[in-house]
Amino acid sequence: MTVEADPSADATRRPNLVLVHCHDLGQHLGCYGADVDTPNIDRIAADGVRMANSFCSAPQCSPSRSSMMTGYYPHENGVMGLAHMGWALGDDWETLPKHLRAAGYDTALLGFQHEVPDEPERLGYEHVDSGTKRALELVDVVDDFFAERADADDPFFVSVGIEEPHRPFRREYLPEGTYDDADPDAVDLDDFPYLPDAPGVREDAADLGALVSEVLDPAVGRYRESLADAGLAEDTVFVFTTDHGLAMPRAKGTCYDPGIETALLIHRPDAIEGGAVHDDLVTNVDFTPTMLDLLGIDPPTETAGESFAPLLRGEPHDGRDRIFAEMTWHDRYNPIRAVRTERYKYVRNFSLLPEVFVPMDVAPTPAGREVHEEFHVPQRPAEELYDLEADPNESENLASDRKPFETAAAASDPEPAHADALDRLRDELEAWMESTDDPLLDGPVPYPDAE
């Protein structure tokens, strides 16, 4: 799996790559239809492309990020839980920065990563500045980085990792006076249709909106200004994304769409049509192959991820007709596997669990307390099936009135199309688990210290 350097590669003619990634954002941006003011980030979509149906491999930090950086699912690369809790990416895994170093790129990390608990140099970064991970505090760090590379000969890759809007939504992180405008009564709860209209939900939604609009968005705008001021914008691919869905109940820590949907905006001057919106299903397992392809570097062929760079270039592209997602460990065992098509979502739950898992950073919050009884007390079914066309909020489990793993022929299902979808997606999920050697097929996955 070692990436060999290509001494003949003409790296100086390749564009730079700037990757800005934040925590727990989902698609909570104005350009995705959310009621939040994000003009700077929306401008990336206007200048470049917005992937409308972008998803992650796991609704939690380290596993999702490990997929984004390797092109493999978490159960393949071993990051089935949080890096600081024993699930770190091993040194032998080839990552995006390692691939780019082999192609002649300078590589740098500014701010946050969570694929390994320490020594991010192990991921392939030559330069690391992890002195802060706060969006606005990173402005000067990013500005200095671009200024130093204004006249550099070699192309560079820089990963800018932002903490916000991770929980808690602390008011001290915001500019003075911001919370004067964070009015819970003014929140549009259409952005959170999977949660009740309750005071705690409104409080958290207002705080989240303030954090995104008053901290994250202006910081990203400043990063782009610094890139332009250094004269580098025209020779750079600029990407904005996030690791997984919002840190709200029934989002983060679940394989429902609010947990696995991700913002993905890509701008490359004169190469990607400005303002384009693509509805194709993509997953962050595809991220590393796509970025390499977009930069003119042959992507690895053995990964689970597939390049969708042809789509971005306006070329013919046979995209995915389904994406897969998973969760195994977080602050507790929560084994889930899921497959999503354009119309259906099938979820398989592998343990006795509460109806909705709420992560430890969300459970004690105002919104978490509002739904504790509803989400924690009932038992989760073994299988879930949702018709996303008729039920985009995934509220009616079409598998709930059938015995677990009952065949369509033996069931008296009033909707044969749904029964067929259940059987088909169950088979496809199991085939995927088998083809990727999912350890969950052999039984419960032990915590690393328990082995």
402 and 269 part of one domain: no
201 and 302 part of one domain: yes
**pLDDT tens-digit map of 66-79:** 999 999 999 999 99
Residue 79 lies in a domain: yes
Banded pLDDT at 407 (limits 50, 70, 90)? very low
The answer to whether 307 and 299 are in contact (CB under 8 A) is yes
296 and 335 part of one domain: no
Q: Among 268, 294, 316, where does a domain finish? A: 316
**Mean pLDDT on 409-414:** 45
**pLDDT tens-digit map of 362-383:** 999 999 999 999 998 889 999 9
User: How far apart are the C-alpha atoms of 80 and 84, rounded to whole Å?
Assistant: 12
Mean pLDDT, the chain, as a whole number?
A: 91
Structure pTM? Answer: 0.93
For residue 176, the model assigns a pLDDT of 63
99 and 241 part of one domain: yes
Tell me the percentage of the chain whose pLDDT exceeds 90.
84
71 and 157 part of one domain: yes
260 and 297 part of one domain: yes
pLDDT above 60 for 329: yes
Domain count, the chain: 2
Range of the domain at 412: 323-440
For residue 417, the model assigns a pLDDT of 77
**pLDDT tens-digit map of 208-246:** 999 999 999 999 999 999 999 999 999 999 999 999 999
pLDDT above 50 for 404: no
280 and 382 part of one domain: no
pLDDT above 60 for 412: no
227 and 107 part of one domain: yes
Q: How far is CA 201 from CA 44, 247, 339, 386, in A?
A: 30, 12, 29, 24
296 and 357 part of one domain: no
**pLDDT tens-digit map of 93-103:** 999 999 999 99
For residue 279, the model assigns a pLDDT of 97
3 state DSSP class of 58 = coil
107 and 157 part of one domain: yes
Please list, residue by residue across 301-319, b when 16 or more beta carbons sit within 10 angstroms of its beta carbon and e when fewer do: eebbbbbbbebbeeeeeee
158 and 296 part of one domain: yes
Q: Among 316, 345, 365, where does a domain finish? A: 316
For residue 2, the model assigns a pLDDT of 45
Q: Among 281, 316, 351, where does a domain finish? A: 316
Which CATH number covers residue 201?
3.40.720.10
Residue 1 lies in a domain: no
Residue 263 lies in a domain: yes
pLDDT above 50 for 410: no
145 and 26 part of one domain: yes
